[in-house]
Amino acid sequence: MAAKLNFTSKVRAGMAAERVSAGERLAEADVVNIAQRDAAVVSQSEAVEARVDSSHTVSQISVEDVVSNPYNPRAFYSAETIDELADSFAKQGQITPILVTRLDAFPGKYVIVDGERRIRAARSRGDKTIEADIRQGLDNQNLYLRAYHANKEREEQTVFDDALAWRKLLDDGVYVDQVELGVAVGEDPKHISKVISLTSLPSFLLQRMAQNKRDVGLGHAYNIKLIFDRAGPSVAEHWLQQVIDGKASVRKLEAAASAEAGARRIGPRRTHYQSRVQFNRPDGVALGELKLFGDGRAELNLKGIGPADQQRLAERVKAVIEQWAAEMDTTEAA
């Protein structure tokens, strides 16, 4: 019996020693503190995620309270794609919320970061509300860059959109110069400069280029810009049509631009307008002009018009011209 008790005592003693040893190893490894720190990190991460989640909400907002991004990276939208999206809304509803934020410059309004096509489709349908992801704390640079990268990922954006957007960003001082802008969008300043130079082209030429983006690249556009500078809009439009028809390569355009430069040195070839009408905003800032030519042409060239205003302008100009054309036909028939 004594021997049995002795054996039991030894087992108990061994277990006690093992517990002490394990406790010492845990203490040496600081397991408890590490576990506490890990728990704290998890709690902090959850808190950060909660803060991030609280920085934006998804809800229904009034369509009337939505305004376009003043630094929208896209300037050109086709009516066909807006109609297609409106039809999709009718059949499937709105699948993706628009992304909006608040800006002090637009009190009480939601400024679009991403979703200009969706808001246009909603307006064309007469929708009163639209689903929106509301983000807080975006400055002008983030307002542009978020929309810029979203459009690039969808391959919707063209160099012609970039030209107008980059010019406005620099004119408004959002970026100090082309170098800073180039760093922000990941492009060489020389590329930035070439793209921005396209803004000297009339809007109707830029619009046609954007509509035919699969055929018209930056090389084509830049040389057409040189031709426009040297020979005027009619010659530039001729060469643009050649590009769209697949009859003019970049090399051919370079040769044409060089030829026009030589001809310009010999003498002017431009057809001068007979009269013009200039347009100004109520504050006196120049908007553009309407030129009338002796060969029957009339050219309207306006600048500084935002995307939403462009759409309204196009609708009103179309209505005026259609009414004028109808009256002209009636007069000729009489």
- What is the DSSP annotation of 39-100? HHHHHHHHHHHHHHHHTEEEEEEEGGGEE--TT-S-----HHHHHHHHHHHHHH---S-EEE
Residue positions counted in the chain = 334
More confident residue, 216 or 263: 216
Taking the C-alpha atoms of residue 248 and residue 230, their distance in angstroms, rounded to an integer, is 18
The CB-based long-range contact list for 5-10 (8 Å cut-off, 24+ gap) reads: none
More confident residue, 150 or 56: 150
Token readout for 100 is 């909006």
Specify the amino acid at residue 261: A
pLDDT in tens, 224-248: 999 999 999 999 999 999 999 999 9
More confident residue, 279 or 130: 130
Q: Taking a C-beta distance cutoff of 8 angstroms, is the pair 110, 67 a contact?
A: yes
CA angle 243, 245, 250 (to 5 degrees): 20
Token readout for 122 is 């909603």
- pLDDT recorded at residue 25: 45
- pLDDT recorded at residue 271: 58
Q: State the average pLDDT for the chain.
A: 78
Residue 278's beta-bridge partner residues? 289
Please state, as a whole number, how many other Cβ atoms lie within 10 Å of the Cβ of residue 290. 15
pLDDT in tens, 283-319: 777 788 888 777 778 888 888 787 777 878 888 888 8
More confident residue, 12 or 300: 300
Cα 49 to Cα 45, 52, 84, 101, distances in angstroms: 6, 5, 37, 20
Whether the predicted pLDDT of 263 surpasses 80: no
Question: Please, which residues have CB within 8 angstroms of residue 59's CB and are 6 or more apart in sequence?
Answer: 131, 132, 134
Q: Taking a C-beta distance cutoff of 8 angstroms, is the pair 322, 314 a contact?
A: no
Taking the C-alpha atoms of residue 293 and residue 247, their distance in angstroms, rounded to an integer, is 29
Q: What are phi and psi of 131, to 5 degrees?
A: -75, 135
Q: What are phi and psi of 305, to 5 degrees?
A: -105, 125
